[in-house]
């Protein structure tokens, strides 16, 4: 019952938001609905595992529902301060903003449907709704660059979705399970930002920040669909090595390709690269590798959200928070991605020692690309003059969601031991 509400509430909210003409009301409805869904997702953690005809409530699904809910709630609360600035800067029209809120909820609901569904077709429908909503959100911002980004995201996202659907169709045929898995890997891998379709995440990252902040959970849901496939078919070698190959190729291609124009582009590329590292772990397989991969995936979603939720904020605290977000996404110590990347590397080397070279090179090149963005993040607001003492606290409030995310990334890096059993339980899910 609760799992159904977690999926249905965002879609109902989207319907309601389409009729709310006043953007101030829409912002509050958005924040309230995401908070409600996150609280409902927290209740899921106490329930026992259930596998029904339509929905599946297991450790992996609950974890991803919590992660998706947390990021959406943080984005919703960030929107309370961000949207008035966006309106003032004429970054988006008021009527388009109404659709933007509705699309955010569709993206949220679609991701929840994908992570909590059992049948592969329902998982695909959830990812379809979420990715098409993200694409439509990309086209909402003013200007030709936004439209061109929307076109590119639509094309690449649609190709990924059709390939994934072809895989979903072929998978039940026993003799073609390898081919079906390969199609699924290319399709869902593309949605998660893996090579060769990783340009899609860069294009979709041009969306307004409330939309792009939820791209991380969408990528995690896509990779989780592949992980479920990998765990269900442990003896299938072709998808495992394809998984590893795409995972290894992604950070290398992302770092060696054209340099991104701004910090947003760099963050999207870095997210793809870190998804590649998680994919290596899932491809290698086995309890320790999958546990490390899931920890890495969780931390990268949080780090990306922390970085994006500082968008257009001025002042030294915002600039420092942004720099910390970039450092976290670059997998630098003491942030958690450093530790999880080391765990992935150790697990991968245990299976194939040569994997140390491409994985290490990918991580180093990715960190180098992001470090270029730290001194002066182009495309996001620069560090402005210090705020007046009277409004200091008010100016810090919009940073609270980003700090919450960064605190989690830092805390899980410094003391990962208490949460490792939680991730190990997910690695055993089928």
Is 55 in a helix, a strand, or coil? strand
Residue with tokens 């045929």: 173
CB 37 within 8 A of CB 69: yes
Q: Using CB under 8 A as the criterion, which residues of the chain lie in contact with another protein when the complex forms?
A: 121, 124-125, 128, 132, 135-136, 139, 144, 147-148, 150-151, 154-155, 158-159, 161-163, 165-166, 168-170, 172-176, 179
Distance of closest approach, residue 171 Cβ to another protein, in angstroms: 11
Q: What are the b/e assignments for 356-377, b being 16+ CB within 10 Å?
A: eebbeebbebbbebbeebbeeb
Question: For the chain, how many residues are written?
Answer: 430
Kindly tell me which of 165 and 302 has the beta carbon lying closer to another protein.
165
CB closer to another protein, 59 vs 136? 136
Q: Which is nearer to another protein, 175 or 388 (CB)?
A: 175
- Residue 163 CB, shortest distance to another protein, in Å, is 8
State how far Cα 224 lies from the chain centre: 11
Q: Which is nearer to another protein, 55 or 347 (CB)?
A: 55
Minimum distance between the CB of residue 249 and another protein, rounded to whole angstroms?
A: 19
Least distance from C-beta 343 to another protein, angstroms? 36
Cβ nearer to another protein, comparing 166 with 364:
166
CB of 167 to another protein, least distance (A): 10
Transcribe 257-326 into DSSP letters: SSPPSSHHHHHHHHHHHHHHHHHHHHHH-SHHHHHHHHHHHHHHHHHHHHHHTTTT--SHHHHHHHHHHH
Phi first, then psi: what are they for 48, rounded to 5°?
A: -80, 160
Residue 78 or 124 with smaller CB distance to another protein: 124
CB of 155 to another protein, least distance (A): 5
Q: Take residue 184 and report the two structure tokens written for it.
A: 């699924």
Distance CA 366, CA 111 (A): 27
To the nearest whole angstrom, how small is the minimum distance from the Cβ of residue 280 to another protein? Answer: 25
Task: Confirm if 294 and 383 have CB atoms less than 8 A apart.
Answer: no
Select 5 or 147, whichever has its Cβ closest to another protein.
Answer: 147
Residue closer to another protein (CB basis): 145 or 350: 145
Q: What are phi and psi of 365, to 5 degrees?
A: -65, -40
Strand-strand pairing, 56-57 and 50-51: antiparallel
User: Which residue's entry shows tokens 């509430």?
Assistant: 9
Q: Give Cβ neighbours of residue 361 (< 8 Å, ≥ 6 apart).
A: 251, 252
Nearer CB in complex with another protein: 182/209: 182
Query: At closest approach, how far in Å is the CB of 427 from another protein?
Result: 30
Q: Please write down the long-range contacts of 14-22, taking CB distance under 8 Å and 24 or more positions apart.
A: 14/102, 14/103, 14/105, 14/106, 14/109, 15/102, 17/98, 17/101, 17/102, 17/105, 18/98, 18/99, 18/102, 20/98, 20/101, 21/98
CB of 169 to another protein, least distance (A): 5
């Amino acid at each position: 019952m609760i799992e159904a509400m977690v999926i249905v509430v965002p879609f109902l909210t989207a319907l309601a938001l389409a009729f709310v003409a006043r953007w101030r009301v829409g912002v509050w409805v958005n924040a309230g609905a995401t908070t409600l869904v996150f609280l409902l997702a927290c209740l899921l953690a106490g329930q026992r595992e259930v596998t029904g005809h339509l929905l599946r409530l297991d450790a992996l699904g609950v974890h991803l529902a919590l992660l998706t809910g947390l990021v959406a709630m943080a984005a919703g609360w960030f929107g309370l301060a961000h949207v008035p600035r966006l309106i003032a800067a004429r970054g988006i029209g008021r009527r388009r903003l109404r659709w933007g809120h509705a699309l955010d909820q569709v993206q949220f609901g679609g991701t929840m449907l994908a992570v909590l569904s059992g049948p592969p077709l329902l998982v695909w429908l959830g990812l379809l709704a979420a990715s098409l909503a993200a694409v439509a959100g990309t086209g909402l911002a003013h200007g030709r660059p936004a439209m061109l980004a929307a076109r590119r995201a639509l094309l690449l996202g649609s190709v990924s979705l059709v390939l994934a659907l072809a895989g979903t169709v072929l998978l039940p045929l026993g003799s073609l399970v390898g081919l079906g898995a390969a199609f699924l890997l290319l399709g869902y891998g593309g949605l998660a930002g893996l090579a060769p379709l990783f340009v899609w995440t860069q294009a979709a990252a041009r969306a307004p920040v409330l939309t792009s902040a939820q791209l991380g959970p969408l990528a995690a849901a896509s990779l989780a669909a592949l992980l479920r496939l990998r765990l269900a078919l442990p003896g299938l070698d072709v998808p495992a090595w394809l998984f590893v190959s795409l995972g290894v190729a992604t950070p290398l291609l992302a770092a060696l390709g054209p340099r991104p124009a701004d910090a947003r582009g760099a963050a999207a590329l870095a997210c793809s690269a870190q998804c590649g590292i998680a994919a290596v772990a899932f491809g290698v397989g086995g309890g320790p590798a999958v546990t490390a991969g899931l920890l890495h995936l969780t931390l990268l979603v949080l780090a990306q959200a922390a970085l994006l939720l500082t968008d257009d904020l001025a002042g030294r605290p915002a600039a420092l928070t942004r720099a910390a977000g970039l450092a976290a996404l670059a997998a630098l110590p003491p942030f958690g991605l450093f530790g999880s990347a080391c765990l992935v590397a150790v697990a991968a080397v245990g299976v194939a020692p040569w994997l140390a070279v491409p994985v290490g090179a990918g991580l180093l090149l990715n960190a180098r690309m992001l470090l270029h963005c730290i001194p002066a993040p182009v495309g996001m607001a620069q560090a402005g003059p210090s705020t007046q003492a009277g409004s200091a606290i008010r100016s810090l409030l919009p940073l609270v969601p980003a700090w919450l995310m960064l605190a989690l990334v830092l805390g899980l890096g410094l003391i990962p031991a208490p949460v490792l059993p939680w991730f190990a339980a997910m690695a055993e899910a089928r």
